[in-house]
Amino acid sequence: MRASRVLTFARYEIRRAVARKKVLALVALTVLISIAPYYALYATHTSLITPPLRPYLWILGVFLPQAFFLQFTALLIAAGSMSEEYEQGTAEVLLSKPVSRQEYFFGKYLGGYALVVGIVVLDVVLSISSATFVFGPQQQLGIEPMILLAQVFAALVFYSFAFMVGELMRRSSLSYILSASVFFTSEVVGVFLNILYTLTGTNIYKVANYYLPTSPVDSLPLLLAEPKFPSSVQLVFRFAATPVEPSIGISALLIAVYFISAVLIALTYFSRMDVAKRVT
Amino acid sequence: MATPEAVISFEQAVKDYGPKEIGPVTFSVGPGEIVGFLGPNGSGKSTTIRMLLGLIKPTSGTVRLMQRDPLADHVRALERVGYSPELPNLQSFLTPRELLQLTAKELGLGRKETDDQLPVLLEDVGLIQYQEYKIAKLSKGMVQRLSVAQAMMGSPKVLILDEPMIGIDPAGVVKFRSLFRDFVRDGGTIVMSSHILSEVEALCTSLVVIHSGRILFRGGIQAFIRERLGSRSILVEIADSSAFEGGALVGRISSLAGVKRVSPAPAGLLVEIAPDSDPRAEISRLVVETGGNLVGLGYSRSELDEAYISAIRGTPAQ
């Protein structure tokens, strides 16, 4: 596998994804979610934001999109990555050149993922800037690179899953629907399992919740960040989510298992199957 | 059996789609040929081409491109091969220049090579003034031209063209013919699938005819016509033919070797001949000798059309 060809396809994939209006719309929405809460909180003069909380409000913008918008954006970018090339008949032209299927596969995978990372970084920059602008200088920013790494690592789960579904289905509408269904189902089932555990105290509900794909995704950045902040700031984290997983290690392991499985399945399928002619 | 120097070869290649099977396909193409790949819709042309490009895996048999397996050794087999698909759907968000730059990167061309080739190719296919337009804004014919340009990027040795003339205006067709002839003159090989038989007749040096997944014919165009047509007809056009007393002429033409029958036609005479004979020179001489004013002489219909239809129907044309 040649790095130059992988890079060519990665750049191509970024360009292709950015050309899609729905991806741009979601990026715009993510930006809005990163900055709007600060101005809303400022405008409403809520008593929730006490002076000791103000230097830590950057956390709000960083974590608010974590549970939904970042995952959904990752999913949307990945679901069409392979499938749209089949639908538009462009895969056969790209693959009729002297490039290996692995170069094409990993180039597209990494290109789309680089875009997801870019969106996470954009979210972080806008959150910190908005928090600083509205509520003054922010503290504990030194931990942000670690949170960023955790967020982009966690995004691999639904990014890889949607990428895999796109390759297996080879129909973008089906891959969007199926990937989004799994994502929403996991979120909803997670909430129900949590309620059942709270009501009954039965451990099986708690353990089952660990293995839902959304659980480690939501938990890892929170588990890393929460201990580094004063207890008075925990309220801000609750705006985002409550960690489900018992430890950072289990969260990271589950994320790795989910995304590596999805990548391997997609790569095996793509390497062995025929390159479909244009399908509509 | 493929010759050692064959650039393309199929040996009993079969693609089984379950309800439909393409193959066994066996033929080879040598360097310097322009091969017309003919067959009706659904006959297996695209499948055969896609097996050749390593896009689909044959169920059995072997396929070689540049003497390599296009699946197992895809990168090296495709190094000097250009492909233009049928009804190309190119990346609509790119411009022609960007598409060719992408192609150049896929081929591993350096910046200088790319900068040298790109304007020449865009000029050759008549798109130089549209190089900064989005492909989405180009007409169908322009996209077809661009598809051929991307196939020719990187100085390939083999061009595989699936219906390259579809949607191209007459001037473009003439330009493409010249482009393809130059390509072969410079040592290239072309396999071209087409439904436009006049185009195949004008450009190709040999044929592969496929029908229902089976190769019906592989060889020269004239050999195909000879094999498929039981007879051919020559139309002899004579000025003011109604006033011309042609009784003697009919008798003399009838006596020529290879002539089966001579009958009157609205503009002169229709001469039916054996497929392996060509008495056109003698006929023209006889018309002049008998005082006729010869204004035209040629085969009365497209022979390749007739031979092709005969092959597809499975019976010699009558």
Q: Is residue A279 part of a domain?
A: no
Domain count, chain B: 2
Tell me, yes or no, whether B174 and B252 share the same domain.
no
Strand partners, A69: none
Q: Answer yes or no: do B85 and A274 touch at CB < 8 A.
A: no
DSSP B68: B
Give first-to-last CA distance, chain A, whole Å. Answer: 31
Closest by alpha carbon to B78, among B111, B55, B47? B55
Last residue of a domain, one of B186, B206, B226: B226
Residues 6 or more apart whose CB falls under 8 angstroms from that of A154 comprise A66, A216, A217, A218, A220, A221, A251, A255
Most confident of A265-279, B185-199, B284-298: B185-199
Which tops the pLDDT comparison, A241 or B45?
A: B45
Percent pLDDT > 70 in chain B is 94
Q: What is the CATH number of the domain that holds B261?
A: 3.30.70.100
**B100-112 confidence digits (pLDDT tens):** 999 999 999 999 9
Backbone phi, psi, residue B162, to 5°: -100, 105
Q: Show the low-confidence residues of chain A (pLDDT under 50).
A: 280
The beta-carbon contacts of A2-5 under 8 Å, at least 24 apart in sequence, are A2/A103, A2/B108, A4/B105, A4/B108, A5/A99, A5/A100, A5/A103, A5/A104, A5/A107, A5/B105, A5/B106, A5/B108
Looking at the complex, does the CB of residue B90 fall below 8 Å from at least one CB of chain A? Answer: yes
Which tops the pLDDT comparison, B244 or A158?
A: A158
Closest by alpha carbon to B273, among B223, B220, B236, B312? B236
- Predicted ipTM of the assembly: 0.84
Q: For residue B85, list chain A residues with Cβ-Cβ distance below 8 A.
A: 89, 92-93, 96
Read off the pLDDT band of B2 (50, 70, 90).
low
- Residue whose structure tokens are 């399928």: A269
pLDDT score recorded for residue B27: 93
pLDDT score recorded for residue B300: 66
At A77, list the tokens: 């970018």
- What's chain B's average pLDDT? 88
Tell me, yes or no, whether B85 and B217 share the same domain.
yes
Last residue of a domain, one of B170, B197, B226: B226
Last residue of a domain, one of B191, B226, B261: B226
- Identify the domain containing residue B220 by its residue range: 8-226
Distance CA B101, CA B117 (A): 10
Mutation site for B-interface testing, chosen from A93, A170, A278 by largest number of B Cβ within 10 Å = A93
pLDDT score recorded for residue B12: 93
Q: What is the CATH number of the domain that holds B28?
A: 3.40.50.300
The amino acid at A20? R
Q: Is residue B2 part of a domain?
A: no
Nearest to B91 among A90, A92, A100 (CB): A90
Looking at the complex, does the CB of residue B301 fall below 8 Å from at least one CB of chain A? Answer: no
Give first-to-last CA distance, chain B, whole Å. Answer: 33
Residue B52 clears pLDDT 70, i.e. is over it? yes
Tell me, yes or no, whether B289 and B238 share the same domain.
yes
Mutation site for B-interface testing, chosen from A97, A100, A274, A280 by largest number of B Cβ within 10 Å = A97
Looking at the complex, does the CB of residue A5 fall below 8 Å from at least one CB of chain B? Answer: yes
Tell me, yes or no, whether B222 and B273 share the same domain.
no
- Identify the domain containing residue A49 by its residue range: 3-272
Residue A153 CA from chain centroid, whole number: 8
**Once rounded to an integer, what is the mean pLDDT over residues B301-308?**
76
Q: Answer yes or no: do A93 and B85 touch at CB < 8 A.
A: yes
How does DSSP assign A243-256, residue by residue?
--SS-HHHHHHHHH
Query: Is B233:B260 a contact under the CB 8 Å cutoff?
Result: no
Q: For residue B46, list chain A residues with Cβ-Cβ distance below 8 A.
A: 277
Residues 6 or more apart whose CB falls under 8 angstroms from that of A280 comprise A87
Domain count, chain A: 1
pLDDT score recorded for residue A12: 96
